[in-house]
Structure 1
């Protein structure tokens, strides 16, 4: 039997779209929320809106543009290069992003009567982002509940999955082709398989290739 209502933190990328399909299987009613934080590509918001429309879920768009002023990064500024250096956080890390996103998602969730919040953070393929760690999510869950005296449950279906396993989950949800062809993960703003060169595209492609090869071998 499906549980109550859920709110999915939704960017229109591979991970959050997989979480959307997961949530639709788990919960009686699902809505999504996208944050406009002056991200590098406004197309991300358009993709999120289009997927929400196609999947027949109510879409909320919240203005978080202050985040780009507080925490400039390669995801919010065209003049910052996308770089990864050994021992340092990638230039794509946005300080406090998931802290703020989950805080505002919690406020919205309470207003729409949703007990469950779903987010696609992952500690397996997470580039070292501290706000993607399981310990942070557990702490945030407690903080939200105490701050609003409400019994929220934050779900992280991808927390312990690598990208290969995330593609496998999408496949078990009958959503692999949809996720592959309709989502935007690329840091250079190219839908579907992306540019193939940025860190996000390489991670996504490597996972897909591994999963499709494994699936092919199982079928033999």
Structure 2
């Protein structure tokens, strides 16, 4: 185990929760930060808060309400339904312009004030639904930019970058937190904890990954 501290960008969903416990194994101490951007389903923040409280993890929720004003989409507006299938052109309407850019930037500012160099995120290029801010090239580019902007050595860790949902379920199982990830996280675009609504793209991806994982066991 590394005795250094890490900041985990934490939504309370499957991926970030798996990464939270991955970070607990790898680092001496972790701090989780979540973001309130007036998302449609605030319950995800409650899930994040509950998981951290239950497992003794320091947790902070930062206000990013301006993002809601700047980037209206299906995750922030009740009158916009989430695309059930990917559009033939362009990005899904669940993509929030600038979200990860702002999340990781604020996470870096937060980390530097506490003398922390490590930032952990659950983004994945294998299962990124076409989101450009989940790509490895974006993370590497931003890592360099953050280091230059603050004259500080950050390292952004992406343990899920090259694995699919089945392998993410396996990672949770290997970490001994499969029951937590399966029952206490919120991935569903319709705000239903655990297995979710079963109908939205996020639930579909999660379920297919879980079934594939079960076949692998």
The normalised TM-score by structure 2 is 0.97
Match of 2:173, SS state, is: helix
Question: d(CA) in 2 for partners of 1:99 and 1:114?
Answer: 19
Name the residue aligned to 2:81.
81
Give the corresponding residue for 1:122. 124
1:134, distance to aligned residue in structure 2 (A): 0.2
- Quote the residue 2:143 is aligned against: 141
Counterpart for residue 168 of structure 1: 170
- 1:27-84 CA-to-partner distances (Å, cap 9, x unmatched) read 0010000000011101011111001111211101100010011111101111111113
- Structure 1 residue matching 2:35: 3-state secondary structure: strand
Aligned to 2:8: 8
SS in 1 for 2:161: coil
Which sections of structure 2, spanning at least 5 residues, go unmatched? none
Separation in 2, partners of 1:3, 1:78: 44
What is the rounded CA distance, in whole Å, between the counterparts of 1:145 and 1:49 in structure 2?
A: 29
Residue 21 of structure 2 corresponds to 21
Structure 2: distance between partners of 1:41 and 1:13: 12
Superposition RMSD on alpha carbons, in Å?
0.8
Aligned to 1:35: 35
Aligned counterparts of 1:169 and 1:86: Cα–Cα separation in 2: 32
Deviations 1:182-217 (A, max 9, x none): 0000011100000000000000000001101211xx
CA distance in 2, matches of 1:146, 1:169: 33
Provide runs of 4+ in structure 1 moved above 4 Å.
none
Q: Secondary structure at the match of 2:22?
A: helix
Matched residues in 2 for 1:176 and 1:186: separation? 17
Residue by residue over 1:108-144, the C-alpha shift from the partner in whole angstroms, topping out at 9 and shown as x without a partner, is 0111221100000000010110000000000110111
Residues in 1 aligned to 2:55 and 2:7: alpha-carbon distance in whole angstroms: 14
Distance 1:2 1:212 in 2: 31
Q: Mapping of 1:100-111 within 5 angstroms? A: 100-111=102-113
2:49 alignment counterpart: 49
Q: 1:86 offset after TM fit, Å?
A: 2.2
Alpha-carbon separation, structure 1, partners of 2:18 and 2:37? 22
> What is the alpha-carbon distance in structure 2 between the residues aligned to residue 114 and residue 191 of structure 1?
31
